[in-house]
Structure 1
Amino acid sequence: MSEPVGPADGVQRPDDYRSGFACFVGRPNAGKSTLTNALVGQKIAIASDKPQTTRHAVRGIVHRPDAQLVLIDTPGLHRPRTLLGERLNDVVRTTWTEVDVVGVCLPVNQRIGPGDTHLVTELAQLTRRPQLVAIATKTDLAGPARIAEHLVAVQALEQSVGIEWASIVPVSATADDQVDVLADTLVGLLPEGPPLYPDGDITDEPEETLVAELIREAALEGVRDELPHSIAVEISEMGLREGRPPERPLLDVFASMIVERESQKGIVIGKGGSRLKDVGTRARAQIQAILGTPVYLDLRVKVLKDWQRDTKHLNRLGF
């Protein structure tokens, strides 16, 4: 993990240079992770159409000549059914108190509902309230009339909940539409100050955590609706293989996908191991692309009964 840098790093910057933290919040599957990746310009958070894909606060760092914007992608706030769900919601609420700006993601292809109102109401009740930006995500999935209707509903939240949006920005991360406008908006709300991380860093995620998330993302593709929440990934060993020439490195990764029941283990492995092999192939390609090193991936499946409800298992898995 990178340590924040001090002001005396030898780089000349404008006097009004800005730096600070912004987080994206919203219901599950509101487009938070996709937006984080688009702003950073590289994949650092996994994205899926399954709710609760993000399970911890992922930091992505945007470097600009005039600013350094540290983005925190948080889990979707939801009604928890397990101890894991309660801990994920705690991550979200803790993050709110530590950032300069909160971007509330409200996808245009969904009506603003009670969950959205509840989320914004909780933000309104914070003792130390950060600047609030409404982000109308997924504009590529709606026409102009629907987008206009949605923006009116977003504006109406101000009076009904008792908040004031610093800005309302419609955006599509997948179509790269208005991503630059959102970046300018967030940067403009940051305090003046020196950079917090060294030039070139795009995340402070440990590589082991990033690799585990990429494996979980590959595992989420094509599984039954009830299975995603039951999958966790544990890295037991990871490192460059000894004895390899410098020009031909190989990263060894030994990992286990954790499920809650034996029946789920069968689903993840698939007939004749076909699904497990497919997950390994996709995950290895993603890991190699991001880390830039050839990878040997040893992937197993383990059962930890009801791990989402067990304090000991949650602590072991880093939740």
Structure 2
Amino acid sequence: MTFPEVPEGFRSGFACFVGRPNAGKSTLTNALVGEKIAITSSRPQTTRHAIRGILHRPDAQLIIVDTPGLHKPRTLLGARLNDIVRDTWAEVDVIGFCVPADVPVGRGDEFIMRELRRVAGRTPVIGIVTKTDLARPEQIAERLTQLADNKIIEFAEVVPCSAVDGFQTDVLADLLVSRLPEGPPLYPHGELTDEPEETLVAELIREAALEGVRDELPHSIAVTIDEMIPRPGRTDGMLDVHATIHVERDSQKGIVIGKGGARLRQVGSDARRQIEKLLGTKIYLDLHVTVSKDWQRDPKQLRKLGF
């Protein structure tokens, strides 16, 4: 592994974004990296893995760890997602705590701030007001004041930004980089994530499956890749991708498949476009839906599904 020469004072290290579900963490990760490496959805608890995205700059390499939203768990899966978040906090150089500009700071945010207080003595925490594109100026000002004047934790900085229109994302990147230790790059130049392609493909299928489904269903959907192989006889790099969408009940299977299979065809079409963009090649996507009864609460099935 070779790296280009780096200037004196070059910084490299890890940051993570934390916050309650749907606070804009994944969208912000993608905006800073410059490519889609974390799936996004309006549904809470979309993120289930600690996805690492890599921002390359002339003066630094910032590895951003996008984490699941910290929440009060109702299942074994929820408890394991919370464990991922806390494990990540212990390993990074700086933490960004995200609250959306268009929603008041609430008890869920205060719970996370109390959790963060345990690590704030050794790891700087930056308060980030996200989604400023959705809020009025007075809402943004109120959110900044709520963070700056809170009695729970002292933030190293408080900054508003928008991943959608790019407002102050460069300022946020500077604040994160300034708190990294000096050192050489940790990943080769141009690499945007260290996630296996199969993981990213499975996540893109799950993202497509999340759109347009009922409120109770998102938590019950998981995706596994059964096979990703070159299409025999093709010289253009086309891949055959065989994947399984797991749900917990027969009724959920019907929702995902839809009337006459229409919903599943739409999921396949939406996912295929994103996967082809990710891999840079044409794919044939074969999707199956199976019932893995109560998998969120079953340790054996959780292990099988990668949790």
TM-score (norm 1): 0.94
Say yes or no: does 1:142 pair with 2:130.
no
* Structure 1 residue aligned with 2:211: 221
* Structure 2 residue aligned with 1:188: 178
Say yes or no: does 1:56 pair with 2:56.
no
Q: Distance in 1 between matches of 2:65 and 2:213?
A: 27
Q: Distance in 1 between matches of 2:213 and 2:175?
A: 38
* Structure 2 residue aligned with 1:90: 83
Post-superposition shift, 1:144?
1.1
Say yes or no: does 1:270 pair with 2:258.
yes
Encode CA deviations 1:125-182: one digit per residue, 9 max, x unaligned: 238631100000000111111111111111012xx11x32121110010111111111
Secondary structure in 2 matching 1:204:
coil
Say yes or no: does 1:155 pair with 2:145.
no
Q: 2:194 aligns with which of 197, 200, 204?
A: 204
* Structure 1 residue aligned with 2:67: 74
* Structure 1 residue aligned with 2:158: 168
* Structure 1 residue aligned with 2:4: 11
How many residues were matched structurally?
307
Q: Distance in 2 between matches of 1:63 and 1:259?
A: 38
Q: Distance in 2 between matches of 1:260 and 1:219?
A: 14
Q: Distance in 1 between matches of 2:78 and 2:138?
A: 36
Partner amino acid, structure 2, of 1:243? G
* Structure 2 residue aligned with 1:290: 278
Encode CA deviations 1:20-72: one digit per residue, 9 max, x unaligned: 00000000000000000000000000000000000010000000000000000
Q: Residue 253 of structure 1 contacts residue 297 of structure 1 at CA under 8 Å; is this kept in 2?
A: yes
Secondary structure in 1 matching 2:227:
strand
Partner amino acid, structure 2, of 1:121? R
Q: 1:111 to 1:251 in 2, by over 3 A?
A: same
Say yes or no: does 1:311 pair with 2:299.
yes
Q: 1:10 to 1:219 in 2, by over 3 A?
A: closer
Q: Residue 171 of structure 1 contacts residue 177 of structure 1 at CA under 8 Å; is this kept in 2?
A: yes
Q: Which moved more, 1:123-132 or 1:87-96?
A: 123-132
Q: Distance in 1 between matches of 2:84 and 2:181?
A: 24
Post-superposition shift, 1:10?
5.2
Q: Distance in 2 between matches of 1:24 and 1:243?
A: 44
Partner amino acid, structure 1, of 2:40? A
Q: Residue 258 of structure 1 contacts residue 304 of structure 1 at CA under 8 Å; is this kept in 2?
A: yes
* Structure 2 residue aligned with 1:40: 33
Q: Which moved more, 1:22-31 or 1:140-149?
A: 140-149
Q: Distance in 2 between matches of 1:317 and 1:280?
A: 20
Q: Residue 3 of structure 2 contacts residue 185 of structure 2 at CA under 8 Å; is this kept in 1?
A: no
Post-superposition shift, 1:258?
0.1
Q: Distance in 1 between matches of 2:275 and 2:5?
A: 35
* Structure 1 residue aligned with 2:244: 256
Q: Distance in 1 between matches of 2:3 and 2:204?
A: 35
Q: Distance in 1 between matches of 2:232 and 2:194?
A: 26
Secondary structure in 1 matching 2:149:
helix
Q: Distance in 1 between matches of 2:12 and 2:84?
A: 22
Q: 1:31 to 1:127 in 2, by over 3 A?
A: closer
Q: Distance in 1 between matches of 2:121 and 2:97?
A: 17
Q: Residue 36 of structure 1 contacts residue 60 of structure 1 at CA under 8 Å; is this kept in 2?
A: yes
Post-superposition shift, 1:242?
3.3
Q: Distance in 2 between matches of 1:208 and 1:10?
A: 26
Partner amino acid, structure 1, of 2:246? I
Q: Residue 97 of structure 1 contacts residue 128 of structure 1 at CA under 8 Å; is this kept in 2?
A: no
Secondary structure in 1 matching 2:41:
coil
Q: Distance in 1 between matches of 2:120 and 2:175?
A: 24
RMSD: 1.1
